[in-house]
Amino acid sequence: MRLSFGQLLARIGFSALAAIIGILFALPLIWFIFAPFNARAELGIAIPDPWTLQNFMTVFGNGFAMRGLLNSLIQSVGGVILVAAAATLAAYALSRSSIPGKSMITYILLLFSSVVSGTAAMVPIFLIVSSVGLMDTHIAVILVFAGGLLPTAMFILRDFIDGIPKTYEESAMVAGASPVQAFFDVALPVIRPGIVVVVVWAFVNIWGSFLIPFILLRSDDLMPSSVAIYSFYSEAGTPIVTLLAAYSLIYSLPVVALYLFVSWKFGFRFFGGIKA
Amino acid sequence: MASVEFQNVTKSFGSFNAVSDISFKVADGEFICLLGPSGCGKTTSLRMIAGLETPSSGKIMIGPDDVTHLHPKDRQISMVFQDYALYPHMNLADNIAYPLKVRGESVEKRHKRAKEVADVLKIGDLLQRLPSQISGGQQQRTSLARALVYPSRVYLFDEPLSNLDAKLRLEARGFLNHLQRDMGMTAVYVTHDQAEAMALATRIAVMDRGRIVQFAPPIEIYRRPATTFVANFVGNPPMNMIPVEGIVESEQLQLRAHGVLVRNLPLSQGIKAALGKGAALTLGVRPEHLSMGTINDTNTLSGNLFANENMGPEKLVTFERQDGGRVTARIFTDDMVETTENVAFTFDGAHATLFDAEGKRIAADGERPL
């Protein structure tokens, strides 16, 4: 096939534009990989000369920041377990039972959830947590995150479970299984890829969130990394770029590791039903 | 094995009656087919036997037990689903042995039993495969194996062959027939395929709009369809139904319509009663009972050739009568049809089935059970 001159020009133009946009998006990532190993890192991209681990040594020496990583892990794992367990059971019930207006319930929850974990609800959440006496605890952060993420998680999972034939559990029950057995033996393994999606999504959400822990926590030894990262700012509010870069890299590793693990173990694919 | 009985069972979804007030009994060891078009209530009836639906009213018995409100797991039944419902995360051995697992059998015992059943069904070599790694026919046999692996009082089949291609379907049908002869199982089998029902059932329940229209052995359903609905549903191609006018001449029945001339049928009590309400009757003739003839024969159906389909051993000849009604004849290929526009077919008066104005079959005098 021969292209006319105009078509050729349009193709070259499009490729050039795409390349420029691609480079624009790649720049911060390139900085993100190089800067932590550079003793004199600034906001511009520079290849480290020499390569050094000095930045990391300093960061590891910062107890508050290291404690923050552990706190992030506690809050994320706690939140993820709560969200995944509750969303699976709720979504299963919403999908399989015949509650009238059940889709309405999900949509209303979904609507409110964007408010619950959003900035607008911060004052009421603060007041509730405070009056329950959970202020400055991991539990408070976990509960508030769970409340905010649950509706969306339920929505994702309900859609997923709706796509799984009811006959799986029905055949199990006819074969002699109780509803609970049918759920754990047959339904749960089939739903698992959907749960994995929710787990990753919830983990990323909690791991990266700043506002809720910042408001609900006071003690330094409970603060997660998203808050602790501010210890790499000077009194005047300017970032200490070298340390910030090193800490950011460490901070992002668990999320990357989770993605790699999940895609290795589950591959982000869905079983669905067997095509007849 | 056990019997199954429906006592005045109704199932409604909102204001819609999927099954309305049906009663029937399946004797121990019988193979019953529930036959009907989609939405006739056959699958709902089956699911009520399984306990997957609860009747709105009425009673369901399995053997001596009232199971109306019993959970499926406590009914000692097995069921083969239309989509097979094989668990995608378990290999065939675990799929087949699952009913034994929930019964608390040891791993060795249940895998041994699964292997036995799988060998009978010729899938013994595939036990380590996942359901997604085997063919449709093998999936079907796996789901059958899972139903057969444990002792069961009633076997339920929900259109188990409808997802197979035509050739495999015939093979599986033959195997099910063999299995039934071998085991003498009590089975309830749902299908919309009349040929499947005819081939497998000891008795067929033809259903229409939530009711049983006729419950009889296949041969009776075929020869003496209770209503025009049954006559239309059973047989391939179905029975030709022709609206005719009935006239009594010299104590014998004559039938007239465009392209229809039927002379001297016996005037039974039933026909007299039907004619008392009006002359409109429906004549039913099976395509296989028609043979080539001339318009001078005693009983003739004639019209213009519409289609002439060669099926190999037989031919389907369809012609259109003057009023537009079509009639199909099934003849052996040897009886050639000349490609004339006008064709005439004849049939034996004994093969004429008559229906009254309400669509009910009119019995001949002194009809004996088949």
Residue B293: per-residue pLDDT: 85
**Which neighbouring-strand residues pair with B355?**
B282, B361
Cα-based distances in Å from A216 to A45, A66, A145 = 37, 20, 11
How much of chain B is helix, strand and coil, in % rounded to 5?
30, 35, 35
- Chain A nearest CA to B135, separation (Å): 9
CB contact under 8 A, B163 and A276: yes
CB contact under 8 A, A168 and B78: no
CB contact under 8 A, A175 and B98: yes
Q: Which pLDDT band holds residue A38 (cuts at 50, 70, 90)?
A: confident
CB contact under 8 A, B81 and A170: yes
Residues spanned by the domain of A205: 62-265
Helix or strand (DSSP H, E) at B179: helix B166-183
Pairing mode, strands B4-13 and B31-35: unpaired
CB contact at 8 A, A195 and A266: no
A55-64, B197-206, B264-273, range with greatest mean pLDDT: B197-206
CA proximity to B284, closest of B238, B324, B247, B249? B238
A59-63, A260-264, B143-147, B337-341, range with greatest mean pLDDT: B143-147
On chain A, the residues whose CB falls within 8 A of the CB of B79 are 170-171, 174
In the numeric block, which tokens belong to residue B22?
Answer: 């049906």
Of all residues in chain B, the one with the smallest CA distance to A184 is: B102
For the segment A239-259, what is each residue's pLDDT rounded down to a tens digit? 888 899 999 999 999 999 998
Query: Omega before B237 cis (within 30°)?
Result: yes
Percent of chain B exceeding pLDDT 90 equals 74
Of all residues in chain B, the one with the smallest CA distance to A171 is: B85
On chain A, the residues whose CB falls within 8 A of the CB of B160 are none
Q: Which pLDDT band holds residue B338 (cuts at 50, 70, 90)?
A: low
Among the residue ranges A91-100, B238-247, B314-323, B348-357, the one predicted with the least confidence is: A91-100
Residue B21 pLDDT > 60: yes
Q: How many domains is chain A partitioned into structurally? A: 2
A144, A238: one domain? yes
Pairing mode, strands B4-13 and B57-62: antiparallel
**Could you give the 3-state DSSP secondary structure of residue B270?**
helix
Residue A273 pLDDT > 50: no
CA proximity to A79, closest of A183, A168, A192, A207? A207
- Which sign does the torsion angle of CA B130, B135, B138, B139 carry? positive
A33, A105: one domain? no
State the CATH architecture for B240-355. Beta Barrel (2.40)
In chain B, what is the greatest distance between 2 CA atoms, to the nearest angstrom? 80
Q: ∠ CA B327-B328-B329 to the nearest 5 degrees?
A: 125
Out of A171, A176, A185, name the one closest to residue B85 (CB).
Answer: A171
Residue B336: per-residue pLDDT: 67
- Which sign does the torsion angle of CA B179, B182, B183, B189 carry? positive
Residue A216 pLDDT > 50: yes
Residue A114: per-residue pLDDT: 67
A163, A194: one domain? yes
Residue B11 pLDDT > 70: yes
CB contact under 8 A, B52 and A181: no
d(CA B312, CA B188): 34
A41, A74: one domain? no
Residue B187 pLDDT > 90: yes
At B193, give phi and psi (nearest 5°). -100, 110
- The 8-class DSSP code of residue B118 comes to H
A116, A33: one domain? no
CB contact at 8 A, B43 and B233: no
A145, A221: one domain? yes
Interface list for A 212-251 with B (CB within 8 A): none
Residue A103: per-residue pLDDT: 78
Percent of chain B exceeding pLDDT 70 equals 98
For the segment A107-145, what is each residue's pLDDT rounded down to a tens digit? 888 787 766 656 778 888 899 999 999 999 999 999 999
Amino acid present at B139: Q
A:B CB pairs within 8 Å = 80
Asked, for residue A93, whether it belongs to a domain, the answer is yes
In chain A, what is the greatest distance between 2 CA atoms, to the nearest angstrom? 74
A151, A252: one domain? yes
Question: What is the mean predicted confidence (pLDDT) over A220-249?
Answer: 88
Asked, for residue A258, whether it belongs to a domain, the answer is yes
Residue A269 pLDDT > 60: no
Question: What is the mean predicted confidence (pLDDT) over A93-108?
Answer: 83
Residue A1 pLDDT > 70: no
Residue B339: per-residue pLDDT: 66
A31, A73: one domain? no
CB contact under 8 A, A271 and B88: yes
How many Cβ atoms are within 10 Å of B359's Cβ, its own excluded?
15
User: Going along chain B, which residue ranges are E strands?
Assistant: 4-13, 16-26, 31-35, 57-62, 65-66, 77-80, 154-158, 187-191, 203-208, 211-216, 240-249, 252-257, 260-266, 280-285, 291-292, 299-310, 314-320, 326-332, 342-346, 353-355
Residue A268 pLDDT > 60: no
Q: Which pLDDT band holds residue A272 (cuts at 50, 70, 90)?
A: very low
Q: Measured between alpha carbons, how far apart are the two ends of chain B, in Å? A: 27
For the segment A68-81, what is each residue's pLDDT rounded down to a tens digit? 999 999 999 999 99
Last residue of a domain, one of A13, A32, A52: A52
Provide CB contacts within 8 A for B238, sequence distance 6+.
B231, B232
CA proximity to B207, closest of B3, B2, B6? B6
Residue A275 pLDDT > 50: no
A98, A47: one domain? no
Sheet containing B154-158, strands listed edge to edge, beginning at the edge strand earlier in sequence: B77-80, B154-158, B187-191, B31-35, B203-208, B211-216
**Could you give the 3-state DSSP secondary structure of residue B32?**
strand
A38, A74: one domain? no
**Could you give the 3-state DSSP secondary structure of residue B360?**
strand
Residue B337: per-residue pLDDT: 67
A22, A130: one domain? no
CA proximity to A259, closest of A209, A201, A219? A201
Residue B245: per-residue pLDDT: 93
In the numeric block, which tokens belong to residue B365?
Answer: 């005098």
In the numeric block, which tokens belong to residue A60?
Answer: 């590891």
Among the residue ranges A32-46, B10-24, B239-253, B312-326, the one predicted with the least confidence is: A32-46
**Could you give the 3-state DSSP secondary structure of residue B304?**
strand
CB contact at 8 A, A45 and A30: yes
Question: What is the mean predicted confidence (pLDDT) over B363-370?
Answer: 82
Asked, for residue A272, whether it belongs to a domain, the answer is no
Question: What is the mean predicted confidence (pLDDT) over B186-204?
Answer: 95
Question: What is the mean predicted confidence (pLDDT) over A157-179?
Answer: 93
Q: What is the CATH number of domain B4-233?
A: 3.40.50.300
Pairing mode, strands B299-310 and B260-266: antiparallel
CB contact under 8 A, B81 and A190: no
A165, A95: one domain? yes
Out of A165, A174, A190, name the one closest to residue B79 (CB).
Answer: A174
Read off the CATH number of the domain in which A256 is found. 1.10.3720.10
Q: What HEC string does B129-146 produce? A: CCHHHCCHHHHHHHHHHH
* A195–chain B Cβ distance below 8 A for any pair: no
| Residue position matching structure tokens 């995150």 | A145
Extents of the domains making up chain B: 4-233, 240-355
Residue A266: per-residue pLDDT: 75
Q: Measured between alpha carbons, how far apart are the two ends of chain A, in Å? A: 41
CB contact under 8 A, A165 and B87: no
* A181–chain B Cβ distance below 8 A for any pair: yes
Out of B83, B89, B102, name the one closest to residue A190 (CB).
Answer: B89
Q: Which pLDDT band holds residue B131 (cuts at 50, 70, 90)?
A: very high
